[in-house]
Amino acid sequence: MTRAHTAAPGGDTRRSRAPRRPTWSQLWAGATVLAIAALLLVPGWLAPSDPYHLDVSQRFQPPTAAHLFGTDDAGRDIFSRVVHGARYSIGTSVVVVTAAALFGTVYGAAAAWFGGALDRVLMRVVDVFLAFPYLVFAMAISASLGRGLTSALIALVALWWPSYARMVRGQVLSLIKDYHVRAARTLGASGPQILRWHVLPHTYDQVLVRYTLDLGQALIALTGLSFLGLGAQPPTPEWGLLIADAKQYALTAWWAAVLPGCVVFLVTLNFMSLGDRLRRRGGPR
C-alpha cells in the first residue's frame, strides 16, 4: 500500500504504444552510452596496446593506422592511453556527481521535511557554499589535501552538492503539500515512509536530468584540475594530465594534446545531449 504512489503523476494516463523503430538520434544516444560503458568496463579489449609501454624509437609518431592518435614523447600509444584513461576521467566524474547528487538530495529533503529553524540553518550553509567561487576553492581544497585524483574528487563533491540540495528542497517543499502525501499521512504512513515512497520518487526526474548534464561539467572540471597538476599524477593516463603533459610539445606534436581533448569534448557533448533529451522527454509538467 505504501507503494501506491510511486508512479509519476500522469504516468497512468500515458497510452501504451506499439513498439516503434528507434530514431537515429536514439540509436546514437544508445551507442554512446554503450561505448562509454565499454571504455569504463573493458578498456583492455579496445586499446590496441599497453598504455604504459615505453618505446623511445616510436616517439612523436603522428597519427597513423598503427597509432590512431599518434605517440607521445615516450613513444606511448596515445589512443591506448586515452582508452585506459576513461576509467580515471569518466569514472571519477561519475563518482563525483553521484556522491554530490545523493548527498544533496538527502540534505535538501531533510531540510524541507523538518523545516523551521533546522531548514533555515541548513539552507544558510548551502548559501555560503554557493557564495564561494568554486573554481578557486576546488583548486585550494585539492592542493591542500595533497595533489591526487582522490583530492580532486573530494574537492569537487564538496562544491557540487549544494545545488542538488537547493533543487531537491524546493521540490520536496511543494510536494509535501500535495494531496497524495496528505492521503498517505491520513492512512498512517510514517514520515520516512512518506519521504521514501511518496515524495522522493517524484524528484528523481529532475535530479536525473541535472545529473546527466552535470556529468559533462564534472568531466570538464576534473580534467581541468588534473591539467593544472592538482588531480591525477603521472603516469596515470587521466585525460587532463595527458593533455597537460602534451602541452610542452604541443607546437611540434599537436596530436598528443589536441586529440585527447577532442575525446573530452565529445564525451561531454554526449552527456549534455543525453541530459537535454531526458529533459525534453520529461517535458514541462
Partner 1 sequence: MTDRRERTGSRLLRLLTSLAWILLVVWVAVSVTFVLSRIVPADPARLAAGLDAGPEQVAEVRAEMGLDQPLAVQYGRYLGDLLTGDLGRSLQTRQPVIDDLLTALPASLELILASYLIYAVIGILAGIAWAYWPRGPHTLLLRFGAVIGVAVPVFWVGLVLQVVFAGKLQWFPVAGNFDYEGTGVPKVTGMGLVDTALTGQLPLIGEALRTLTLPVATLVVTHLAVTMTLMRSSLEEQLKRPYVRTARARGVKERRIVFVDALRNSLNPVVTMLGLQLGWSLGGVVIVEVIFSWPGFGRYAYQAFSAFDYNAIMAITLLSTVVFVTVNALVGMIYPMLDPRLKEAR
CB 54 within 8 A of CB 85: no
Q: Rounded to an integer, what distance in angstroms lies between the CA atom of residue 237 and that of residue 239?
A: 6
Please state the closest distance from residue 69 (CB atom) to partner 1, in A: 14
Q: Which stretch binds partner 1 (CB under 8 A): 11-19, 23-31, 176-184, 240-248?
A: 240-248
- Told to check if 269 binds partner 1 by CB under 8 A, we report yes
Task: State which of residues 229, 233, 235, 277 lies at the interface with partner 1 (CB under 8 A).
Answer: 229
Judged by phi (left if over 0) then psi (alpha if -120 to 50, else beta), residue 188 lies in left
Return the number of the residue (95 or 139) whose C-beta is nearest partner 1.
Answer: 139
Return the number of the residue (157 or 176) whose C-beta is nearest partner 1.
Answer: 157
Instruction: Quote the cell numbers at residue 194.
Output: 512518506
Footprint on residues 90-149 left by partner 1 (CB under 8 A): 128, 131-137, 139-146
Q: How many residues bind partner 1 (CB under 8 A)?
A: 40
Closest CA to 126 of 142, 144, 106: 106
Q: Which stretch binds partner 1 (CB under 8 A): 97-105, 106-114, 188-196, 259-267?
A: 259-267
- Told to check if 250 binds partner 1 by CB under 8 A, we report yes
List Cα–Cα distances, 5 to 49, 175, 200, 201, in angstroms.
52, 12, 11, 9
Q: Rounded to an integer, what distance in angstroms lies between the CA atom of residue 113 and that of residue 105?
A: 12
Task: State which of residues 227, 231, 241, 278 lies at the interface with partner 1 (CB under 8 A).
Answer: 227
Return the number of the residue (109 or 123) whose C-beta is nearest partner 1.
Answer: 123
Q: Which stretch binds partner 1 (CB under 8 A): 3-11, 75-83, 160-168, 215-223?
A: 215-223
How is 239-273 classified by DSSP, letter by letter? HHHHHHHHHTTTTT-HHHHHHHHHHHHHHHHHHHH
Q: What is the 3-state secondary structure (H, E, C) of 16-83?
A: CCCCCCCCHHHHHHHHHHHHHHHHHHCHHHHCCCCCCCCCHHHCCCCCCCCCCCCECCCCCEHHHHHH
- Told to check if 216 binds partner 1 by CB under 8 A, we report yes
Please state the closest distance from residue 238 (CB atom) to partner 1, in A: 13
Task: State which of residues 172, 264, 274, 278 lies at the interface with partner 1 (CB under 8 A).
Answer: 264
Please state the closest distance from residue 73 (CB atom) to partner 1, in A: 16
Please state the closest distance from residue 127 (CB atom) to partner 1, in A: 8
Closest CA to 73 of 249, 222, 262: 249
How is 158-224 classified by DSSP, letter by letter? HHHHHHHHHHHHHHHHHHTTSHHHHHHHHTT--HHHIIIIIIHHHHHHHHHHHHHHHHHHHHHHHHH
Q: Which stretch binds partner 1 (CB under 8 A): 12-20, 99-107, 187-195, 225-233?
A: 225-233
Return the number of the residue (175 or 241) whose C-beta is nearest partner 1.
Answer: 241
Please state the closest distance from residue 257 (CB atom) to partner 1, in A: 5
Note the residues at the interface with partner 1 (CB under 8 A).
128, 131-137, 139-146, 216, 220, 223-224, 227-230, 240, 243-244, 247, 250-251, 254, 257-258, 261-262, 264-265, 268-269, 272
